[in-house]
Amino acid sequence: MSVSASSAPTAATPPVLEARGVTKVFGGLTAVDGVDLEVGEREIVGLIGPNGAGKTTFFNCLTGMETPTSGRISYRGRTLSGKPHRVTESGLARTFQNIRLFPNMTALENVLVGRHCRTSQGVLSALGRGPRYRREEADGRARAHELLQFVGMDRHAETLARNLPYGDQRRLEIARALATDPGLLLLDEPTAGMNPQETASAMQLVRRIREQGLAIVVIEHDMRFIFSLCDRVAVLVQGQKLVEGTATEVQQDPRVVEAYLGKPVDGG
């Protein structure tokens, strides 16, 4: 099965994501401060940083949930409009740090909601239930089942999202995001609260998503997850991008160690 319908890159294709000088100020607090980030085709980019560094706020700026104070964001060369649903239509999809499923809808319905922006049947065709409506509905359901299978939870299709175990809720959020046919998937702490086995299978899942042709940006506090998965890692500290490079480069950078462990004690 294929998760994305994105076309193969040609010679001079623009990067999947290009963020330039993204800044977000809340009152007196600069949560995101002039961050640049580029993501290429089929790349997995890790975004790390201490609590409150501005990682989630950066995601919110990318997806239009917050309007950046300044900066420019483009997806495959096209500047993104500020509205969240437009951003999703363009091809960005995300999950949330504190899971935001539709708790009283079944797993299948959650995924079907993700199909909303790729389907077009309106009120009249829902009332009329003509052949086109039925075909689209059937296709949507087939696709949703396929995606549930892809994340390994098709047997829970009819379970209300609120009744799913925690790990499944995280996976369902990913399936729902994939249902929007994205070219770039933004994952905000996808393994938070998971046990080691679940984390391992989440890592597998992210790899399989990349194999489908998607680019991924992932926020994580689990360093093993980040360093074994990501092609490139960017470190955000107090809203600013401190370092960016391969896993090894970032791991060896003294500034990163300092940012995570605090300044070395004078004379120590």
Partner 1 sequence: MIVSRVATSTSERLQATFTRPVRLAVGGAGSLLVVAGCLLPWATFFFGFPGKVTLAGFPGGSRLYPLLLVAVAPLLLVAVEGRRRAGLAAAWGVFGITAFNIAAIGFGRDLPLGLLEERGGGGLGAVAIGAWLALAGGALLIAAFASLPSSDEERPFRPGLPAALELLTIALSLGLILFAVVIALEVDETSRFISLIAFATAAGMTLARLNVFAYVTELFDRHRTVTLAAAAIAAVVFPFTQGGNAYWIRVFASIGVFAAAAIGLNVVVGLAGLLDLGYIAFFGVGAYVGALFAGAARTTVHVKLPFLVVVVMGAVIAAIFGVIIGAPTLRLRGDYLAIVTLGFGEIFRILAFNFDWLTRGPNGISGVPDLAIGSYNFGATNEVLGFSLPGFANYYFVELILLAAIILAFTRLNDSRIGRAWIAIREDETAAAAMGINTYRLKMLAFGIGAFMAGAAGTVNAHVTTQVSPDSYGFLESILLLAAVVLGGMGTIGGALLGSAALFIVPEKLRSFQDKRLLLFGIALIVIIRFRPEGIVANRRRKAELHDADPSTGDASGAPPGAPVVGAVAQ
Ligand X SMILES: Nc1ncnc2c1ncn2[C@@H]1O[C@H](COP(=O)(O)OP(=O)(O)OP(=O)(O)O)[C@@H](O)[C@H]1O
List of residues contacting partner 1 (CB under 8 A): 56, 59-60, 63, 65-66, 83-85, 88-89, 93-94, 96-105, 109, 112-119, 121-123, 126-127, 129, 133, 136-137, 140, 160-166, 169, 176-177, 179-180
In the complex, minimum distance from the CB of residue 162 to partner 1, in angstroms, rounded to a whole number? 5
DSSP per-residue letters across the chain: --S--PPPP-TTPPPSEEEEEEEEEETTEEEEEEEEEEE-TT-EEEEE-STTSSHHHHHHHHTTSS--SEEEEEETTEEPPS-HHHHHHHTEEE--SS----TTSBHHHHHHHHGGGG----HHHHHH--HHHHHHHHHHHHHHHHHHHHTT-GGGTTSBGGGS-HHHHHHHHHHHHHTT--SEEEEESTTTT--HHHHHHHHHHHHHHHHTT-EEEEE-S-HHHHHHH-SEEEEEETTEEEEEE-HHHHHH-HHHHHHHH-PPPTT-
37, interface contact from partner 1, Mg ion, ligand X, none, CB < 5-8 Å by kind: none
- The residue within the footprint of Mg ion, chosen from 69, 74, 97, 240 (CB under 5 A), is 97
Name the residue nearer to ligand X (CB basis): 15 or 68. Answer: 68
| 35 near ligand X, rule: CB under 6 A | no
Give me the amino acid identity at 171.
R
Name the residue nearer to partner 1 (CB basis): 29 or 257. Answer: 29
In the complex, minimum distance from the CB of residue 133 to partner 1, in angstroms, rounded to a whole number? 8
DSSP per-residue letters across 62-87: HTTSS--SEEEEEETTEEPPS-HHHH
In the complex, minimum distance from the CB of residue 3 to partner 1, in angstroms, rounded to a whole number? 16
In the complex, minimum distance from the CB of residue 59 to ligand X, in angstroms, rounded to a whole number? 8
- The residue within the footprint of ligand X, chosen from 69, 74, 97, 201 (CB under 6 A), is 97
| 55 near ligand X, rule: CB under 6 A | yes
In the complex, minimum distance from the CB of residue 176 to ligand X, in angstroms, rounded to a whole number? 21
Taking Cα atoms as reference points, which of 102, 59, 104 lies closest to residue 84? 59
| 54 near ligand X, rule: CB under 6 A | yes
Span from 30-38, 55-63, 74-82, 242-250 in contact with Mg ion (CB under 5 A): 55-63
# residues near ligand X by CB under 6 A: 12
| 53 near ligand X, rule: CB under 6 A | yes
Report the interface residues with ligand X, using CB under 6 A.
26, 29, 31, 49, 51-57, 97
Query: Interface with Mg ion by CB under 5 A: which residues?
Result: 56, 97
